[in-house]
Structure 1
Amino acid sequence: MQTLQEAPSQSGLPIPLTQAPNSTIDDGVSGSEFYSWLGECHGFFHNVALIVPSLLFVLYLAFQSRKSFSKLSHGRSYIMIAYYGCLWLVSLLNLAWCCFQAWECSPGKEVTWNILSLFTTSGMLFLEVSLLAFLLQGNYASGLEALTRTFFISGILVVLDILLKAIYLFGLGIPLFIDNNDRAHRTKWALWVVHRLVITAIYGFILFMYHSRWRERLPARPAFYKYTAIMFTLNVLVLFACLLTGNGAGFGFWLYSATIVCYHAFYLPLLYVTFLADFFQEEDLNLENVYYSEMKDAGFFDADWE
């Protein structure tokens, strides 16, 4: 009996039937895997809209890292150093979350996806709560006491949020982070409504302070007001989408997906532009003022007065 590995030819020599190393079959399999990674689950455009902005932001942080490290080391602001490090960590987590969207729809990957989603969303929430604490302080603070107080309060809130979500996920079996066929889970959407209602109320309270007699307690920076207005609008949309989806409306589920894409793709760049970019620019202005004062004391501008 002839084996499948060899077949006799007309010249009597065996002809191998094994697959050639450079066969196009392997290319087809790898191409299929690439398409399943990028195109399945929520779709090609959904995944690209998440991955591209997140990847570009991480590359931007890497490109600016040398300059940022130099300014942070000279500025000696403990809050800014810690916040910049947290931003790096959360940006990498968010990029991984955006790249592995296929895990959400893959059997056997539910636990891994839930853990990744839990830490990613909690890290972004930590940055969000910390920035709100900075806003309510009224100005930048650079002392260890301010850093400890702010991060301690933010850490407690985020740890409580992680514990509650872990109970919902692994104790009660509520699929908080699986959004493909879950419009029937009313308990899940009720939980998200409460979660978003609290965050929306906080941003709404800060906006109210900007238009009240307590405005002087907030930083006199237009960027902070714009940030608060953007986040208030986004959370209102998410809250509205959760209410609609909980009642079975298909448009609500589409709106919820769109707001989640916007949040994971653009929140971290918005945070950087609002908070850290201003700090780095102020350092440049402060250095220029120092150099000018030193040159003036040395008599470089005496000729201008003659």
Structure 2
Amino acid sequence: MVADSMLKFQPNFRTAMSGGSADMTTGNASTNGSDPLTNISTTPGSITFPPEPSVIQEPVCQWILYEDIAESRVRIWDLIILVPNSLFVMFLLWNLKLAINKLKQTSSPIFMAFYLLVCMVAVISVLRCIVGMTVNASVLAGDITDKVLWLVLRFFLLATELSVVVFGLAFGHLDSKTSIRRVLLVTTVSAFIYSCIQGSLEFTYPDPKFHVEKGAVTKNYDIFAHGGMIFWITSSAFFFVVYSVIFILPWTNLKAKLNLPSKKSFYYYALFLAFLNCAQTVGSSLLYSGVLHGMCVVDTTTYIYFTCFHPLVYGTFLRDFFKMSSQNIPFSYKYQIDEGQDEDTVSLPYQAAEDKYTPDNISDSGSFDSTHFDRHGAGFASGSVNADVYVHTGSYQNM
């Protein structure tokens, strides 16, 4: 019986391949159509097999963004970001008492603004990692929570980033606490608009290259894609141009017209961010073009940004200030009420370019060399302290 069935099947199959169509059970020719069980076309002269399922190739370095540690919810990406941020928070806590004492000894609000921004970003970075480890990103609620946490962190980082740039370039024009609050308000609103656009793109148009698909149920969701590749390319290219312009300003003719900072550290800070944004532009462009190795570039630059930016701000603008001795801390003053000035008007470090000063009040290793906003001259400082300091003795005295 089996042999007869096989003999009956083989001729029929040869008939189908040679241009005819045969019924496998009766051996008679059948009408045109297709077998609903196999989806093989029985049209005379051709045989069509079902299409193979499409295979989505995963980018080379995508696994580190979602892979868990030992089948737990703790992702490798969250852990390697948590460790350096936790160490930095511990460093801030260790020096908290010293920082508070130093901030009390100066009425300049710039240092307080920098310190609060750095502390806030460091704490939010740690909290994002901890909460990200407790949620299950493979479910909808966990996926939304994870993306919202990334957007909140990016908002505070960008607000700090913009504030540092404005404080650096417009330092000579910030003559009161009110003006500094206005700067913080403008930079915060700008960062909020940026984050809203990024969040809208993230949830409305998720990037397919950041989609994780490992089984029908276990892992099938979108990881945070920074607003998508087009948005990432555009924003990174914009910030690259901004920081590149800031870096080259001292070598342009504008140095004679603008009251530029003269400290090298400020421009090294700008150069670092220009390089980082350039690398992100290249990496996101590669991903958008289908070059999957671009994921390695964006992963590396993202890790550097989310772990090194706030320590960089602290080291560039606050470290030397907190290392000063008490007598060298930049003093500030308030204009007398009878001079017709606002009560919150203060003198900021390096803000006395056109005022009277007495350089003998500071030493060669004086405190003004550490804030990195020295404005004595348009170029870089050359080791010696170029400070504009003046002593307020009750009212201005013309010399």
TM-score range, shorter chain: 0.7 to 0.9
- SS of 1:238 mapped into structure 2: helix
Structure 1 match to 2:139: 107
- SS of 1:75 mapped into structure 2: coil
Shift of 1:155: 1.8
Structure 1 match to 2:176: 143
Structure 1 match to 2:72: 36
1:214 corresponds, among 254, 257, 278, to 254
For residues 198-237 of structure 1, what are the structure 2 equivalents within 5 Å?
Answer: 198-215=238-255, 217-237=259-279
Between structure 1 and structure 2, the one with the greater Rg is: 2
- SS of 1:122 mapped into structure 2: helix
Q: What residue identity is the alignment partner of 2:72?
A: S
- SS of 2:139 mapped into structure 1: coil
For residues 234-245 of structure 1, what are the structure 2 equivalents within 5 Å?
Answer: 234-245=276-287
Q: What residue identity is the alignment partner of 2:176?
A: G
Distance of 1:140 and 1:71 partners within structure 2 = 24
1:255 corresponds, among 297, 319, 341, to 297
Distance of 1:150 and 1:134 partners within structure 2 = 8
Contact 2:118 2:313 in 1 (8 A): no
- SS of 1:261 mapped into structure 2: helix
Contact 2:137 2:146 in 1 (8 A): no
Distance of 1:177 and 1:141 partners within structure 2 = 45
Structure 1 match to 2:154: 121
Shift of 1:287: 4.7
Structure 2 match to 1:174: 206
Shift of 1:76: 1.7
Give deviations 1:26-53, integer Å, cap 9, x for gaps. Answer: xxxxxx9876244x4xx4xx44431221
Give deviations 1:166-191, integer Å, cap 9, x for gaps. Answer: 32234x243599675779x9x82011
Runs of 5+ unmatched residues, structure 2 = 1-67, 214-221, 331-359, 364-399
Shift of 1:101: 4.8
Shift of 1:266: 0.9
* Identity value in percent: 21
Give the alignment's Cα RMSD to 1 decimal: 3.2
Distance of 1:50 and 1:178 partners within structure 2 = 19
Q: What residue identity is the alignment partner of 2:154?
A: T
Runs of 5+ unmatched residues, structure 1 = 1-31, 293-306
Q: What residue identity is the alignment partner of 1:64?
A: N
**Residues 1:96 and 1:266: Cα distance change in structure 2 (over 3 Å):** same
Distance of 1:257 and 1:205 partners within structure 2 = 26
Shift of 1:214: 2.3
Contact 1:37 1:100 in 2 (8 A): no
Structure 2 match to 1:131: 164
Shift of 1:118: 0.8
**Residues 1:233 and 1:154: Cα distance change in structure 2 (over 3 Å):** same
Mapped pair 1:279 → 2:321: yes
**Residues 1:178 and 1:80: Cα distance change in structure 2 (over 3 Å):** farther
Structure 1 match to 2:39: none
Shift of 1:149: 2.9
Distance of 1:179 and 1:131 partners within structure 2 = 35
Distance of 2:208 and 2:189 partners within structure 1 = 21
Distance of 2:281 and 2:174 partners within structure 1 = 33
1:152 corresponds, among 185, 191, 194, to 185
Which region of structure 1 is more displaced relative to structure 2, 160-169 or 132-141?
A: 132-141
Shift of 1:285: 5.8
Q: What residue identity is the alignment partner of 2:246?
A: I
Contact 1:79 1:143 in 2 (8 A): no
TM-score using structure 2 length: 0.57
Mapped pair 1:266 → 2:308: yes
Distance of 1:139 and 1:119 partners within structure 2 = 31
Distance of 1:221 and 1:135 partners within structure 2 = 10
1:84 corresponds, among 102, 106, 115, to 115
